[in-house]
Structure 1
């Protein structure tokens, strides 16, 4: 029984992509035409098309029996290409930033309701941080998370964090959305975000958003260091370095 269910699922996925490919080969296609080309029954083709339409990948031209692809696939492809290009563009800049500051440098992106580390360059100091590429961290109590949220409207932030539980990691952690929104207003004004021992005791983090060619925030770049190495002079330098590096990356994307 399990094998039959698995086979049905695989078959359905194959049919979905076959339909997408067929629609991609022509500007628009009718139901009858598609079912003939794909050698599928009209009923099955119609069912798949309506499902794909309901999730935004296919649209119907008015009342006509014509189906077309939407820009959703283009959007997904652009994101994949953007992140691939992003890693190629940032790795040398991140290495230079880490060598200049001797501190840990991270690159992260928004993933579901968290910030996801894409890349990390370790600190030159012998101090191991609990971070690695692929690790997720909360948006509400990390500099990286705040930088990623910085271009969103109040309603978008509330929606993004609607299902998030505000866990108090330290005594400085934001306990609710109101405190976070107040912090984000300051982040927008100063163009950088701070995490002052909000996620880990003894750890300071400063982050800035990285924008694409359209000005949308697609990533965040951060420097993390222990409290005992942090001072206001360093803070000013790190912010300038981060903003300059993020600007260089944005210009090259």
Structure 2
């Protein structure tokens, strides 16, 4: 069947709008020429889209520099879209704070983006050290190469796990990324049995992470919480302590949501 010309044109228009938005997000302030280059569109088209966004209140232009920047209206929309996650953030934050104080390392909270089969970072505590893993909020990472993603994958139902794995491309992201499905499945089984996921230089060279799922009242893993270490700062002698702290945090957050932290159950 031939493509509908109107649909194709509408899709192209949406892609241009999104490209302009992403260019604005990446830059605190940006001029028209630079923005059109980043968005890979003409200056005329970029200017037309920007003016519409200004009229709608999503973008403002500095009168002196003539550069454009996003207003807080887009942030407001994003915050409202996270209202369903309010309970999760409320119960996860104290547990993450305790982990942060106990370890001094980066603590992250991630949820599943079902559309893209990726984990999205929605809350964090930065490390107390200058040299540490940085995970900006909103970052999307593959499930197969992150401890957060593997914690979510390991504890979803077998049917859901199989569907997701069938869609996923196991790209190499770092020196030790698992790119073989059999190896990943074996790792997910270990994760499910012991109650936490782990990755060592699978997502980023020089970094290792440990993560636990957070369960809701229906027993579904709705999020995962992680500790990230630079390899040189991971203390193998404290490994058992790290695991105990992390599992306790996962249990506390799950129980606060009416869920139950579980190991190896269907």
Change (3 A) 1:80 1:135: closer
In 1: Cα distance, 2:139 partner to 2:99 partner: 21
The 8 Å contact of residues 132 and 230 in structure 2, kept in 1 or not, is answered as: no
Indicate the residue corresponding to 2:110 in structure 1.
108
Mark the runs of 5 or more structure 1 residues left unpaired by the alignment.
7-78
In 2: Cα distance, 1:92 partner to 1:156 partner: 30
Instruction: Tell whether 2:174 aligns with 1:166.
Output: no
Deviation at 1:129, TM superposition (A): 2.2
Deviation at 1:80, TM superposition (A): 6.6
Runs of 4+ in 1 over 6 A off after TM superposition: none
Indicate the residue corresponding to 1:216 in structure 2.
220
For normalisation by structure 1, the TM-score amounts to 0.66
In 1: Cα distance, 2:192 partner to 2:246 partner: 15
The 8 Å contact of residues 106 and 127 in structure 2, kept in 1 or not, is answered as: yes
The 8 Å contact of residues 105 and 132 in structure 2, kept in 1 or not, is answered as: no
Deviation at 1:82, TM superposition (A): 5.1
Indicate the residue corresponding to 1:178 in structure 2.
182
Give the length in aligned residue pairs: 179
In 1: Cα distance, 2:255 partner to 2:134 partner: 31
Indicate the residue corresponding to 2:198 in structure 1.
194
The 8 Å contact of residues 154 and 181 in structure 1, kept in 2 or not, is answered as: no
The 8 Å contact of residues 212 and 218 in structure 1, kept in 2 or not, is answered as: yes
In 2: Cα distance, 1:179 partner to 1:236 partner: 24
Specify the SS of the correspondent of 1:188: helix
Deviation at 1:162, TM superposition (A): 2.7
Deviations 1:99-141 (A, max 9, x none): 1100000011111200111101000011142311110111001
Deviations 1:11-59 (A, max 9, x none): xxxxxxxxxxxxxxxxxxxxxxxxxxxxxxxxxxxxxxxxxxxxxxxxx
In 1: Cα distance, 2:84 partner to 2:184 partner: 28
Superposition RMSD in Å: 2.2
Which residue, 145, 150, 155 being the options, matches 1:146?
A: 150
Mean CA deviation greater in 136-145 or 157-166: 157-166
Instruction: Tell whether 2:147 aligns with 1:119.
Output: no
Mark the runs of 5 or more structure 2 residues left unpaired by the alignment.
1-5, 11-80, 258-266
Which is greater in Rg? 1
Indicate the residue corresponding to 2:209 in structure 1.
205
Specify the SS of the correspondent of 1:187: helix
In 2: Cα distance, 1:185 partner to 1:126 partner: 35
Which residue, 236, 241, 245 being the options, matches 1:241?
A: 245
